[in-house]
Structure 1
Amino acid sequence: MPTAIAVTSADMALPPQDERTVPAVVLRDLDKRPLEHALAELQGLVEQHGHVIVVCSQAVPAAVTQRLHTLRSLMESDRIALFRPELPPLGIAVLARQLRQLASCDLSPGVLASAGRLLTHYIHAGAVLGSVARLDRVPVSLKAHAKSWVPGSQFAVLAHPEPRLVRIGPGATLAGPEFATWMLVAKGQLQSEWTGTLSKAWSVHGLREVPLAAESAHWWGTSRVVEFCSYLADLSVLYQLVTSVRQNSCHWCGIDVIGDRCVFCSATPPGHEPPAPRALEQRTPA
């Protein structure tokens, strides 16, 4: 069985990108179900799949995050990876689907989990907002705050990879990827067609629409939002990116990883010990 890719709500499990995309495991209502029920579910996943990678947003309730850490501690298992990158919810859903695509390939669990950090660099995620008054994920100037109170104002915000904010108007744009991508759009309670303009400026292959995740309003500070995300969709490109990076073995648990930190046991490579200080030379007083 391929490594399980889990998300914390059904609206974070995007439809399959292709016929090879493995289904997402949805860990529903972790903060509401009895602890023993959630523990039994996670244990069953580990027994069935060998390893589980949980991808979740930083906008999930704190109780969900606490429950995930509690479950991992109770199981005393290094086969569960918790991955919470600094991406908006739509970007998280896209990343989880990319891992689901790669889960069908011949990648070891450690390399697959490590791929999450690598692939975040190729995701451009942002939103069109009707107000930035409660936006705290991206730096907002006092001038932008003041303009957000003007009726009809809309703002384009890029949260990743480099935070940017512009007021939408003639000529307004955001710096986009320098490689070919697809774009997803998720519409909330805001009427805006600006994402169509942006998709043309970014020369995306195509634009598709998905439902807005429940976590998005919390992440962006408003339900008046149209979230967008451009990403690499082709499995062969994703696979080539991941396999072109040098692999290492974790010095602690022995699993193969890419990068400098094991996503399962959280160990980092041991640092080189600093050289011992040289003894002070004794000098004979003149």
Structure 2
Amino acid sequence: MPTAIAVTSADLVLPPTDHQTPTAALLQAPDVQPLDAAIADISVLLEQHGYVIALYPASISVAHERRLHTLRSVLESDRIALLKSDLPPLGVAVLVRQLRQLSICDFSAGVVASAARLLSHYIYAGALLNSVTKLDRVPVSLKSHAKSWVPGSQFGVLANPAPQLIRVGTGELTGPQFSTQLLVAKGQLQSEWITSTVAPAWQVQGVQELPLPAESPRWWGTARMIEFAAYLPDISVLYQLVSSVRREVCTWCGIELIGDRCGFCSAPLVPAENQTHTPGVLNQGAPVRQRS
């Protein structure tokens, strides 16, 4: 069975890219599900899948995050990975789907968990906002704060992989230099700027509209927004990115990993070594055949 991927909200589970991509399990908040029921659910996941990788936005409630750690502590299990992501919710949903795709490949649970940090660098996550006065997750200058009080002002914000903020009509957001597809989720704001301006400038290969994740207004500081995320859709490219990084063994828990930190126990690799992907992974070369 593939490694189980879990989320903290059902709207972080995007539609599968194909009939092979598994869904994700839901680890609900403590005000929705009693602790004993949550323990029973995750115990079943561990029994069926061996390992559970839970990926969640950094903006979830303290109580919900505490519940996740409680589950791992009560079960005394080193087979549960808790991965907090600074990506906006739609970006987290993209990353969750990519991990779901990788979970059916010939990667160990440790490699899949540690791949989350690698793949997040290739997700361009942002939003169109009518105000940045309550935006605290992306650096905002005093000048931008002042402009947000001007009626009709709109701002294009990129949160990942590098923060950027522009006033719409006075600049462009820096996009990816590789082929992507674009997801768009509309809040309480009407605009075609993302599909008419951002998508052509970034030369995206396709645009799909989805419902806005419930956590997005809190993350961005306003409900009057439209969230977007450009991502690598091809499983063969994701597979090559991950498989091109040298695998190591965690010196603390003994699980396999890539990069410089274990996805399960968070221990840094000793000695820390930065790995790079092989040249040509994101170019227009022949796709890599996925191994099963």
Say whether the fold is shared (TM-score over 0.5): yes
Using a 3 Å threshold, how does the CA distance of structure 1 residues 239 and 22 change in structure 2: closer, same or farther?
Answer: same
Correspondence list, 1:1-286, <5 A: 1-169=1-169, 172-196=171-195, 197-270=197-270
CA distance in 2, matches of 1:134, 1:105: 41
User: Percent of aligned pairs with the same residue?
Assistant: 62
The number of aligned residues is 271
Q: Larger radius of gyration, structure 1 or 2?
A: 1
Where structure 1 has 5 or more consecutive residues not aligned to the other structure, the ranges are 273-286
Is the CA contact 2:29–2:67 (under 8 Å) kept in the aligned structure 1? no
Please provide the CA RMSD for this pair. Answer: 1.3
Aligned partner of residue 132 in structure 1, secondary structure:
coil
CA distance in 2, matches of 1:70, 1:190: 38
Who is 2:290 aligned against?
Answer: none
Q: C-alpha deviations, 1:21-76, integer Å up to 9, x for none?
A: 11111223344321111111111111111000001001111110011011111111
CA distance in 1, matches of 2:257, 2:270: 15
Shift in Å, 1:160: 0.6
2:187 is aligned with what amino acid?
Answer: G
Aligned partner of residue 36 in structure 1, secondary structure:
helix
Who is 1:278 aligned against?
Answer: none
Aligned partner of residue 72 in structure 2, secondary structure:
helix
In the superposition, the TM-score normalised over structure 2's length comes to 0.90
Where structure 2 has 5 or more consecutive residues not aligned to the other structure, the ranges are 273-292
Q: C-alpha deviations, 1:148-200, integer Å up to 9, x for none?
A: 1111111000001111100101x531000010000000000001111011000
Shift in Å, 1:249: 1.0
Is the CA contact 1:13–1:26 (under 8 Å) kept in the aligned structure 2? no
1:207 is aligned with what amino acid?
Answer: V
CA distance in 1, matches of 2:253, 2:159: 34
Is the CA contact 1:3–1:50 (under 8 Å) kept in the aligned structure 2? yes
Shift in Å, 1:9: 0.9
Aligned partner of residue 97 in structure 1, secondary structure:
helix
CA distance in 2, matches of 1:136, 1:9: 22
Aligned partner of residue 92 in structure 1, secondary structure:
helix
CA distance in 2, matches of 1:32, 1:62: 15
